[in-house]
Structure 1
Amino acid sequence: MIALIESMLLTRTLPAAEFDLYFLGGQSNMEGFGKVDELPDSLAGRLPGVYIFHSPAAADQTAASGEGFWTILQPGHGTGFQIRNGVNRYSDRFGLELSMLHALRKANPDREIAVIKYARNGSSIAINAAGRFGCWDPDFHAEEGLHRDVNQYDHCLATIRNALADVDIDNDGIDDTLIPAGIAWMQGESDATIDLETADAYGTNLKRLMDLLRAALHQDDLPVVIGRISDSGNNPSGKVWTHGDALRQKQQAFVEGDRCAELVISTDEYQYSDPWHYDSEGYIDLGKQFAAAFERLQNPRGHRSVRVD
């Protein structure tokens, strides 16, 4: 499969338009719970020059279809986004993609952008933390069932494969070139709920998964931006993610050990719409922080965990 993706990335017919390609993945805070009706006017419309291929979240043990198609970015790619009868059904929610892509487009107005999004609410990397929400470990499989070997990683690869199979994403009749530019990853909460051993294994699990995603996009040093998990404290015990502090340390260790990765730490400052998800202002700021991190990684100055105002 990786060889096929490599061929799709490198084999293009000239002349071609060039797009910076980003992959967005993770769990619910990547899906996005911001409210579209709370967006400022500057983020409320379509964004010319930015195209998104968004495959709706799918459960493990279901066929990995990677359903989707390229469209111009607009609000509604948050949780609840669906595709029905070949038509996007936009939700009333948004994620960090809006402000991130607006910021990247503003910083590089001469560069067009393509983004592939696949995220699944509640999904884990650790196999023992998967529960009913799914798992990103390629080796995860169910004990029985028609699609017992299909997991979140399979859904992700199917999404990437289908997105790259379209050689003319803007439908102008000319083949396009997609240049891998970064991976945005917002996930880890589910891995912080089981036990300390699972949280401590997160760094190793995260590195393996990011290495696999970089391989799928055919670039070993592809910039990776990780969003640090945070805790609303909206739980009788005082913590929603019991082992969140331990997992945060592993997120920090990952970026410190990877010269092409950065950790966004602004999440501690956000308000919440429920015990698990940020409010609309939080998602807007989170996207800006991700964009700024990508800018730094693409023009390195030694940053690892910072925020911008």
Structure 2
Amino acid sequence: MADIYKSINFNNLNFSNFNYIKASIQMKYFPSFFLVLLIFPLFLLSQQKEIIRVFYLGGQSNMEGYGYNKDLPKDLNKQFKNVFIYEGNPTGDNNKNGGLGKWEVLKPGHCVGFSSDGIKNQYSERFGIELSFAKKLQELYPKDKIAFIKYAKGGSSIDSIAARQFGCWELDFKGINQYDHFLTTLNGALNTNDIDGNGKPDILIPSGIIWMQGESDADFTEEVANKYYSNLKRLMDLIRASLRVDDLPVVIGKISDSCNDADGKVWDYGELVQYAQEKFVKTDENAAIVRNTRYYKYSDRWHYNSKGYIDLGEKFAEAIYKLNNK
């Protein structure tokens, strides 16, 4: 996919770009003086808008993040200049407070334990992939401002059968579920005209979807695991549609297993979900998968350690950059 960001030319806009306006006007009926009056305000308006790349981060607990802030190197344990994040309040299904949030400058704490009422964000002493993801993206896009819209819920499945107390993303769910919380997050984020608070209206350009999920669908029944490909494809198509880019690049993280269980498998049907993930990226030309997860160490049976989240963020950034520059 060609990077749609490159098609935006506001920064290089000049009067020659308005030839299409001039050509559409019968000049003998429209004095040149009034033509200038028409064009000049449009030119000034375009110069005042800021273009910001935006990425959606979604999934379950390994997208939420279980790294410890005390383990962060100095270049990640900070506020990130020109990187902004809107994280939706993570809640279970049928909770009307899901997805509430507000734009902030990115810093540690957007992870398990984070919450928001839409007025104030409450931060945690942990971190997720967004810190190293931001650092690598700033290296890859040194001239760009960057924004993240994040909604992830620990334990959530796509299939409603496997939802348990955690929640599901199934589109046909009767009631409020994780997909609704995602939409609330997205609407809140996109309805903000000036996310960096500098007084200039922003144009947010969707640049990718980062998805880390599947463990809960791999830990219920064989039937649920076998449906993961169709469930994943449908959900990614709907998230793309919500961001209004049908071929928006998607990078997924391949689930892995700590093997810390009596039978040697925490995710009993993990191989079926892994197969579905590989099938998805093989059949979608604008999708990629990060496989480094198989090498990560764990802080408990289910979650990567701090080094794992740092590496995962970097690999996500490299993969989405590559897709955007195909």
State whether residues 89 and 98 of structure 2, in contact with CA within 8 Å, keep that contact through their aligned partners in structure 1: no
Structure 1 stretch displaced more, 88-97 or 277-286: 88-97
Change (3 A) 1:278 1:15: same
1:80 paired with 2:106, answer no
State whether residues 64 and 150 of structure 1, in contact with CA within 8 Å, keep that contact through their aligned partners in structure 2: no
State whether residues 217 and 224 of structure 2, in contact with CA within 8 Å, keep that contact through their aligned partners in structure 1: yes
Partner of 2:101: 68
Q: Give the Å deviation of 1:161.
A: 0.3
Structure 1 stretch displaced more, 165-174 or 272-281: 165-174
State whether residues 92 and 98 of structure 2, in contact with CA within 8 Å, keep that contact through their aligned partners in structure 1: no
Q: Deviations over 1:94-142 (max 9, x none)?
A: 111110111001111101101100000100001111111000012113x
Q: Give the Å deviation of 1:66.
A: 2.6
Partner of 1:46: 79
Partner of 2:142: 109
1:247 paired with 2:280, answer no
Partner of 2:194: 168
Q: Deviations over 1:239-279 (max 9, x none)?
A: 00000011100000000000000000000000000000000
Give the fraction of aligned pairs with identical amino acids, expressed as a percent: 49
State whether residues 17 and 174 of structure 1, in contact with CA within 8 Å, keep that contact through their aligned partners in structure 2: yes
Which residue, out of 124, 129, 135, partners 2:162? 129
Counterparts of 1:208-227 in structure 2 under 5 Å? 208-227=234-253
State whether residues 64 and 158 of structure 1, in contact with CA within 8 Å, keep that contact through their aligned partners in structure 2: no
Find the aligned partners of 1:101 and 1:38 in 2 and give their Cα distance: 17
Q: How many residues align?
A: 282
Partner of 1:144: none
TM-score (norm 1): 0.89
Change (3 A) 1:16 1:211: same
1:190 paired with 2:216, answer yes
Find the aligned partners of 1:14 and 1:185 in 2 and give their Cα distance: 34
Partner of 1:32: 65
State whether residues 21 and 114 of structure 1, in contact with CA within 8 Å, keep that contact through their aligned partners in structure 2: yes
Letter in 2 for 1:86: I
Which residue, out of 50, 58, 75, partners 2:91? 58
Find the aligned partners of 1:159 and 1:233 in 2 and give their Cα distance: 34
Letter in 2 for 1:265: R
State whether residues 192 and 199 of structure 1, in contact with CA within 8 Å, keep that contact through their aligned partners in structure 2: yes
Find the aligned partners of 1:128 and 1:31 in 2 and give their Cα distance: 22
Letter in 2 for 1:87: K
Find the aligned partners of 1:65 and 1:253 in 2 and give their Cα distance: 31
State whether residues 97 and 117 of structure 2, in contact with CA within 8 Å, keep that contact through their aligned partners in structure 1: no
Change (3 A) 1:85 1:198: closer
Partner of 1:90: 123
Larger radius of gyration: 2
TM-score (norm 2): 0.84
Q: Which runs of 5+ in 1 are unaligned?
A: 1-11, 142-148, 301-309
Find the aligned partners of 2:140 and 2:47 in 1 and give their Cα distance: 27
1:229 paired with 2:255, answer yes
1:276 paired with 2:302, answer yes
Partner of 2:22: none
Q: Give the Å deviation of 1:174.
A: 1.1
SS at match of 2:158: coil
RMSD over aligned Cα, in angstroms? 1.3
Find the aligned partners of 2:312 and 2:208 in 1 and give their Cα distance: 16
Q: Give the Å deviation of 1:201.
A: 0.8
